[in-house]
């Protein structure tokens, strides 16, 4: 073959190779495009399936939550029905008591009528006896003259003999007469006492409301709830740490629940939330600032409440510290009964009863208002002293009269009563506390258990604040970062839980949370 032929053959081979390579590449690219398209379709199918599964899981969880809510609601309704049943039974017992008292009053009325008829009969007989006595005296004088003639004795000698013979008979008659009048005086005194007490109760009638451990904070829209909670819950944690109040944000429309056994803490939290929501700036630093301002405002309000109370009752010259204690009673309760309302009612009852008995009504009002000031202790050491003795000590310290001090200290028989004012205070305190629906024993024991729970935490070194929340199922302890390290905080939580487990009796479990926080603050001028 010649050179040209070889060149053509080689060129044809090269050209064939190039064309084959191009065709192969085109086929491979088409397969890749098809694989990518299939992969995209499969990915879309997987995403669609995932969304469908997510929606079904969401619906299942919502159904479970609704079922749980219905179950809890049913349990709550059972508790309410049980409580209503107990209240109905109590009302029935009260009605039975009222019926019994009415019967006794009717019997007493009949007895009074019988006594009045006997008194009339007694007066008639007395007149008859006086006439007979005159006739006897005339006959006696005639007999004396005859005896003097017969016995040859003088009238004085005969008189001495007659006195000796009649002495024993007169003594017996006198004893019987005294006994009859003493019994009559006792009956009259009991009737008069009942009359005064009934008259006092009827004149002083007030409505009673049992204090609860929950306040409701109303908001304009549910959007505010998210701002109150804050990012990852930092705002709500800051509010709870600053006030010691548990804030419950649930599905209740346009409402947030504040839960705490201490009324002062609840009021501080409520006012602080109102100011924060009105202002619109809600963050931890602002929360602490508002809470401190609100605490000062509440202190001032306590003083104003005390002043208004003493002015309304017409009590003058009360020491400023005692006025402040009276104001603090607004945020305290006794067996669920508001302490200030109870003290005001006792003061009014004492004033009416003292006026009925002819005593000083202003002094009685003063003692009635102050009789329970020992229930608002200003320090932890005061809790160990009985409230009646503590109130008496404060009254003596601030210059109250001895009658008032004795009435305060003796109204629970802690000391001996020395004045008539003391039993009046004791009776009026019992009247106010015994009104139907005035008190609730369960609430007081519940609050005492929460206080004991907080006191356990305060018994450890480095504890700054302690708050019992979640109805006593959780104890949050805030420690001083300078005194307690991170390792010590963990061991402190364990020690507190062991102390609670050993010393206290409680239902369920108590979660102990120790919070340690370090802050560095500087001011740019």
pLDDT given at position 477: 92
Q: What are 409-417's contacts with CB under 8 Å, separation 24+?
A: 411/371, 412/386, 412/388, 414/386, 414/388, 414/389, 415/389
pLDDT given at position 271: 87
On the CB side of 200, CA atoms within 13 Å amount to 28
Give the CA diameter of the chain. Answer: 213
DSSP letter assigned to residue 210:
B
Write the CA distances from 266 to 30, 93, 441, integer angstroms.
73, 35, 21
DSSP one-letter string for 333-345: EETTEEHHHHHHH
pLDDT given at position 209: 42
467 vs 260: CA distance, rounded Å? 9
Rg (CA), the chain: 44
Locus of tokens 């109250």: 400
Helices 402-410 + 361-370 axis angle, to 10: 50
pLDDT given at position 210: 44
How many helices (DSSP H) and strands (DSSP E) are in the chain?
Answer: 14, 8
234 vs 228: CA distance, rounded Å? 9
Question: What are the 10-residue block averages of pLDDT along the chain, 525 residues in total?
Answer: 74 79 76 78 82 83 86 88 88 87 86 85 84 82 72 64 68 63 58 56 50 66 76 82 81 76 81 84 85 88 88 87 87 75 87 85 88 74 74 88 89 84 85 61 68 89 87 85 86 89 75 86 79
DSSP letter assigned to residue 333:
E
């Amino acid at each position: 073959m010649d050179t040209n032929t070889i060149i053509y053959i080689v060129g044809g081979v090269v050209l064939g190779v190039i064309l084959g390579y191009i065709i192969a590449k085109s086929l491979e690219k088409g397969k890749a495009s098809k694989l990518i398209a299939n992969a995209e379709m499969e990915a879309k199918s997987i995403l669609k399936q995932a969304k469908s599964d997510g929606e079904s899981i969401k619906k299942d969880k919502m159904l479970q939550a609704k079922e749980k809510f219905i179950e809890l609601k049913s349990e709550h309704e059972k508790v309410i029905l049980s409580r209503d049943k107990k209240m109905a039974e109590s009302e029935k017992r009260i009605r039975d008591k009222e019926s019994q008292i009415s019967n006794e009053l009717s019997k007493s009325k009949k007895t009074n009528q019988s006594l009045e008829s006997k008194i009339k009969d007694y007066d008639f007989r007395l007149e008859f006896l006086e006439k007979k006595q005159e006739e006897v005296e005339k006959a006696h004088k005639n007999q004396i003259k005859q005896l003097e003639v017969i016995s040859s004795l003088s009238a004085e000698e005969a008189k001495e003999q007659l006195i000796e013979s009649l002495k024993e008979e007169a003594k017996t008659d006198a004893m019987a007469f005294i006994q009859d009048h003493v019994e009559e005086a006792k009956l009259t005194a009991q009737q008069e006492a009942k009359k005064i007490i009934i008259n006092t109760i009827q004149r002083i009638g007030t409505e009673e409301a049992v204090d609860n451990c929950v306040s409701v904070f109303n908001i304009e829209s549910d959007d505010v709830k998210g701002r109150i909670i804050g990012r990852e819950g930092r705002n709500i944690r800051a509010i709870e740490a600053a006030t010691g109040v548990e804030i419950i944000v649930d599905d209740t429309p346009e409402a947030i629940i504040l839960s705490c056994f201490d009324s002062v803490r609840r009021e501080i939290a409520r006012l602080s939330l109102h100011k924060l929501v009105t202002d619109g700036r809600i963050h931890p630093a602002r929360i602490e600032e508002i809470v401190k301002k609100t605490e000062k405002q509440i202190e001032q309000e306590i003083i104003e409440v005390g002043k208004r109370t003493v002015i309304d009752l017409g009590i003058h010259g009360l020491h400023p510290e005692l006025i402040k204690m009276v104001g603090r009673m607004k945020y305290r309760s006794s067996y669920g009964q508001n302490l200030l309302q109870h003290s005001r009612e006792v003061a009014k009852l004492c004033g009416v009863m003292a006026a009925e008995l002819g005593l000083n009504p202003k002094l009685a009002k003063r003692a009635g208002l102050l009789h329970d000031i020992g229930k608002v202790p200003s320090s932890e050491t005061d809790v160990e002293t009985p409230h009646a003795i503590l109130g008496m000590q404060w009254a003596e310290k601030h210059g109250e009269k001895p009658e008032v001090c004795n009435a305060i200290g003796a109204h629970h028989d802690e000391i001996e009563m020395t004045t008539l004012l003391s039993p009046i205070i004791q009776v009026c305190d019992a009247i106010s506390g015994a009104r139907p629906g005035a008190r609730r024993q369960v609430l007081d024991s519940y609050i005492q258990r929460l206080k004991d729970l907080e006191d356990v935490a305060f018994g450890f070194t480095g504890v700054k604040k302690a708050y019992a929340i979640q109805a006593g199922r959780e104890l949050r302890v805030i420690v001083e970062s300078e005194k307690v390290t991170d390792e010590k905080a963990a061991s402190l939580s364990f020690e507190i839980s062991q102390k609670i487990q050993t010393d206290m009796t409680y239902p369920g479990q108590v979660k102990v949370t120790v919070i340690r926080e370090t802050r560095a603050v500087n001011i740019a001028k």
